[in-house]
Amino acid sequence: MNKNSDMYDVAVVGAGPAGMMAAITASSNGHKVILIERNSSAGQKLLLTGNGRCNLTNTASMKELLDKFGHRGSFFRSAFSSLSNTDLMKFFENSGLEFKVEEGGRVFPVTDDSKSILKILDTSMKKNGIKIVYNARLQSIKIPSKGKDIFKLNFSYNTVIVAKNVILATGGASYTETGSTGDGFRIALDTEHGVTPIQPGIVPLKVKESWVKGLQGITLEDVRVIIRHPKMVFEGANLLFTHYGISGPLILDNSSKIISLLEDNSHIELYLDLKPSLKMEELQSTLIGAFETHGKVDVKNYLKFLMPNRMIPVLLKLAETDPKKKMNQINKKERNSIINLLKAFPLTVNGHLPIDKAIVTCGGVSRDYIKANSMESKVVDGMYFAGEIIQGCAPSGGYNLQQAFSTGYLAGLLS
């Protein structure tokens, strides 16, 4: 196709969850809609969510949903009100799909297959007569001149599409292999919208310590992470050691907070409480008793009851203690060092994986340029934004997908 001279009421750019929902909503209200996607198929990133199981949303309350998006999360109140988490589930349930709720209120289809979500969206788009164009990358948008209400969208391969309204749902800059390469941010800047700094969200962290490579694959269950300056405490999930640093739900869900600290610091001192269920006094009492009752046991063998095997040599080296020492040979200084390390095992965070390895993008088209009650631009009438392109991200748990579907729905109302 070299040129499409048909006039559309709405041109939606990006066939992710936000774009598909926007197109379905607009077409359901009688608008002639075209959906343009740079990939060869729709929903490529959607298929990856929840490790392919699709963590569609979360059962959280409105307040909890807004809080997950941090400072000024209330911007999304209208979007979540227009399409709530229960509304979103009903949309799919009406097509026969059932859901289950897992730990932390995470909602998954009973099929445990993201393809079942995409299939319903695809069926809805076909039923509504939405025209879909694939393998077309947006190059530029010519906004309407004064007195006119027609957008001219220029795509790769000389494809030109004209429409009365445009919804940009091009995603962020994470998972670039799925097509999220930040095109929408470039278009937003070209059309005089502000774009806040782009940072990775839900991304593994790098640490300075070289010995971390030897801990690769170790999972610490229900560990507590402590940052002392400024004081931050993260807990309630697992941490995973990698060959370059740390990952796992606990780190991924709080990575954006830690990364923000790295903006002003070359590194962040982070401490792992390996025994969060025990207070310092309780741990001291337990170990003092153990040193007496297990006096002839090698300290390295006793520590197997308290921590993963491969971590023991590292802890004892930090405690400056010979691993072959018997429990009754450990002096007071060594004992206190071991106890302190069990409650505050040190790591130095000095970086993170690049944004194309992140699950979501933090930052984007500034909310100051978007009307919260409609997702319409404040500077270009008839231009709307939906999904990850909008500034603001949440931890994992279904919140970001809910934001995509809700802002897509609200934008598709063209209100």
Query: What sections of 192-331 are H helices per DSSP?
Result: 249-262, 280-293, 299-302, 312-318
Q: Report whether 174 contacts 16 (CB < 8 A).
A: no
- DSSP annotation string for 314-341: HHHHHTT--TT-BGGG--HHHHHHHHHH
Check whether 4 has a pLDDT greater than 70.
Answer: no
Q: Which of 178-187, 285-294, 386-395 has the highest mean pLDDT?
A: 386-395
Which uninterrupted H or E stretch holds 106? strand 106-109
Share of the chain above pLDDT 90, in %: 79
Output the average pLDDT for the chain: 93
Q: Report whether 407 contacts 18 (CB < 8 A).
A: yes
Distances (CA, A) of 272 to 253, 258, 276: 16, 14, 9
How far is Cα of residue 267 from the mean position of the Cα atoms in its chain? 22
* Burial state string for 357-371 with b = 16 or more CB within 10 A and e = fewer than 16: ebbbbbbbbbbebbe
Domain range annotation of the chain: 7-200+361-412, 204-352
User: How much is the pLDDT for 212?
Assistant: 96
Q: pTM for the full model?
A: 0.86
Check whether 147 has a pLDDT greater than 80.
Answer: no
Are 7-200+361-412 and 204-352 the same fold in CATH? no
How far is Cα of residue 311 from the mean position of the Cα atoms in its chain? 29
Average pLDDT over residues 272-289: 92
Residue written as token pair 């390469």: 181
Structure tokens at 143: 């906004």
pLDDT tens profile 202-218: 899 999 999 999 999 99
Whether the ω angle into residue 230 lies within 30 degrees of 0, i.e. cis, is: yes
Q: Which of 306, 336, 301 is nearest to 318 (CA)?
A: 336
The topology under which CATH files domain 204-352 is Elongation Factor Tu (Ef-tu); domain 3 (2.40.30)
Q: Place 182 in a pLDDT band, splitting at 50, 70 and 90.
A: confident
Non-local (6+) Cβ contacts of 282 within 8 A are none
Check whether 383 has a pLDDT greater than 80.
Answer: yes
Share of the chain above pLDDT 70, in %: 97
User: How much is the pLDDT for 316?
Assistant: 96
Check whether 181 has a pLDDT greater than 80.
Answer: no
Average pLDDT over residues 276-295: 90
Exposed, middle or buried, 38 (CB in 10 Å: 0-12/13-18/19+)?
Answer: buried
Q: Report whether 127 contacts 119 (CB < 8 A).
A: no
End-to-end CA distance of the chain: 32
pLDDT tens profile 108-139: 999 999 999 999 999 999 999 999 999 999 99
Quote the CA–CA distance of 407 and 18 in Å, as a whole number: 7
The topology under which CATH files domain 7-200+361-412 is FAD/NAD(P)-binding domain (3.50.50)
How far is Cα of residue 157 from the mean position of the Cα atoms in its chain? 33
Q: Which of 43, 58, 110, 51 is nearest to 398 (CA)?
A: 58
Average pLDDT over residues 158-176: 89
Exposed, middle or buried, 83 (CB in 10 Å: 0-12/13-18/19+)?
Answer: buried
Please count the residues of the chain: 415
Check whether 3 has a pLDDT greater than 90.
Answer: no
User: How much is the pLDDT for 223?
Assistant: 94
Q: Place 310 in a pLDDT band, splitting at 50, 70 and 90.
A: very high
Quote the CA–CA distance of 401 and 55 in Å, as a whole number: 8
Structure tokens at 80: 């979540």
Quote the CA–CA distance of 342 and 238 in Å, as a whole number: 16
Q: Place 179 in a pLDDT band, splitting at 50, 70 and 90.
A: low
Q: Place 365 in a pLDDT band, splitting at 50, 70 and 90.
A: very high
Looking at residue 30, the DSSP 8-state letter turns out to be T
Check whether 169 has a pLDDT greater than 80.
Answer: yes
Q: Place 1 in a pLDDT band, splitting at 50, 70 and 90.
A: very low
Q: Which of 89, 74, 14 is nearest to 373 (CA)?
A: 74
Non-local (6+) Cβ contacts of 206 within 8 A are 244, 245, 349, 350, 351, 352, 353
Q: Which is more confident, 296 or 93?
A: 93
Distances (CA, A) of 263 to 173, 225, 350, 352, 365: 19, 20, 11, 12, 20
Average pLDDT over residues 379-398: 95
Q: Report whether 18 contacts 173 (CB < 8 A).
A: no
Q: Place 91 in a pLDDT band, splitting at 50, 70 and 90.
A: very high
Q: Which of 259, 276, 269, 277 is nearest to 224 (CA)?
A: 276
Q: Which of 206, 205, 216 is nearest to 314 (CA)?
A: 216
Exposed, middle or buried, 37 (CB in 10 Å: 0-12/13-18/19+)?
Answer: buried
User: How much is the pLDDT for 159?
Assistant: 86
